[in-house]
Amino acid sequence: MASFVEIDRYNLIPLSLSSLCACPCLPMSNKIIILNQRRYSKFNLRIVFDGSKTMFRVRQSGVSCDRRFVAAVVRTKPDRLDEDDAKEELDKGNNLPVIEDSISERQEKASQLKKRIVFGLGIGISSGGIVLAGGWVFTLAFAAVVFVGAREYFELVRSRGITAGMTPPPRYVSRVCSVICALMPILTLYFGQIDVSVTSAAFIVAMALLLQRGNPRFAQLSSTMFGLFYCGYLPCFWVKLRCGLAAPALNTRIGSAWPIFLGGQAHWTVGLVATLISISSIIAADTFAFLGGKAFGRTQLTSISPKKTWEGTIVGLGGCIATSIALSRIFCWPTSLLSAIAFGFLNFVGSIFGDLTESMIKRDAGVKDSGSLIPGHGGILDRVDSYIFTGALAYSFVKTFLPLYGI
């Protein structure tokens, strides 16, 4: 394989034609090198080699060649043209990495979008089946999600970004709190309420922190108590909403056609309908807010999440309320239009502030995602942050403000 070497910008040394070649076996002719009378201060010399041995050598006294010499070409150009070509070649070389990076970036974004769609559909279908099943199926699956979310939260608390300004709780306390958070939904389903269990768990954890070796810090207590509240207590309201509101939704037409072996009409309770409307409204809020922000977003909503805009938030609110009204007409619950609008508004408020709360935690932790469990989506907290506060608001609204649960 021939090797090519370019020698650039050598000053031209006037030589006689007879001194160009000292090799008697291959005399040089006037046609090999042709130079114009115009002087060129610089020229490029391309030398062709055979294998790894030099076939053309430049010496101080002249030019000599071997028997294996193949060809030597002197290419001269004016100084301006040489500089222009060098600049053009340099620009071409610099543009190649940019083009390659742009192509790889587009491919990576397409791959990420594909992952998000595939896993998003999988999560949506499986979650819908779990919500329809209800009971222990819903509660155990929910407890598993709460456990993973609690682990992610305490890992965020222990990250460098947050620990730079505080002392994190010991690792064994974080693990115990994650288990306690996972047990809270189960205790909620079994006992019907969670107040005593949460109070007892908080007291035990506080004692463990205060009696630990070393110097206990308030930051440890505050981050742990908030973890129990944020990852354990608040999610339990979804269990109370789905499984605790067992009053039948009598006006729901889907319930009358529901198969008997799947529970019949009695399976369609106020809790099931309220849960489906609430989850669907949150999904609509996130989707419409994203699309509205892409299309009309100009004014930043808050510095906590720079990508969120007021325009996207307004579009998301409209989509959330519209979804709540549409589903209330389909399920015939709640029967009042004003109640459906208020229910959609509460779902949106809970979702937006849940999202901002998790964004604040991640910002202080200095990370983009809470984890990497779900390809293309990040961690569990990244997917359920909009639902953490919403369950409590939805349950309180149906239980307290809707007469006869909106039937």
The pLDDT of 128-149, averaged and rounded, is 94
pLDDT band at 29; cut points 50, 70, 90: very low
pLDDT of residue 353 exceeding 90, the answer is yes
Q: The pTM is what?
A: 0.72
The pLDDT of 371-377, averaged and rounded, is 72
Cβ contact 65:55 at 8 Å: yes
Give 11-27 pLDDT, tens digit per residue: 444 444 444 444 444 44
Within its chain, how far is the Cα of 79 from the centroid? Answer: 53
The pLDDT of 270-282, averaged and rounded, is 95
Most confident of 154-158, 213-217, 352-356: 352-356
pLDDT band at 397; cut points 50, 70, 90: very high
| Top-confidence residue, 251 or 102 | 251
Q: Which uninterrupted H or E stretch holds 28?
A: none
With H, G, I as helix, E, B as strand and everything else as coil, classify residue 46. strand
Please count the other Cβ atoms lying within 10 Å of the Cβ belonging to residue 22.
13
DSSP output for 228-250: HIIIIITTHHHHIIIII---B-T
pLDDT of residue 143 exceeding 80, the answer is yes
Please count the other Cβ atoms lying within 10 Å of the Cβ belonging to residue 280.
18
pLDDT of residue 68 exceeding 80, the answer is no
Q: Which of 132, 122, 145 is nearest to 279 (CA)?
A: 132
Above pLDDT 70, what percent of the chain?
74
The pLDDT of 111-119, averaged and rounded, is 73
With H, G, I as helix, E, B as strand and everything else as coil, classify residue 169. coil
Q: Which residue has the tokens 């699309």?
A: 291
Cβ contact 395:387 at 8 Å: no
pLDDT band at 88; cut points 50, 70, 90: low
- pLDDT for the residue 211: 86
Give 171-194 pLDDT, tens digit per residue: 889 999 999 999 999 999 988 888
The pLDDT of 204-220, averaged and rounded, is 85
- pLDDT for the residue 59: 45
pLDDT of residue 381 exceeding 80, the answer is yes
pLDDT band at 139; cut points 50, 70, 90: very high
pLDDT of residue 149 exceeding 90, the answer is yes
pLDDT of residue 56 exceeding 50, the answer is no
Cβ contact 365:159 at 8 Å: yes
- pLDDT for the residue 25: 45
The pLDDT of 352-357, averaged and rounded, is 94
- pLDDT for the residue 363: 87
* Least-confidence region, from 117-126, 347-356, 387-396: 117-126
Angle at which helices 218-228 and 171-191 cross, to 10°: 30
Residue 257 DSSP class: T
Give 308-333 pLDDT, tens digit per residue: 999 999 999 999 999 999 999 999 99
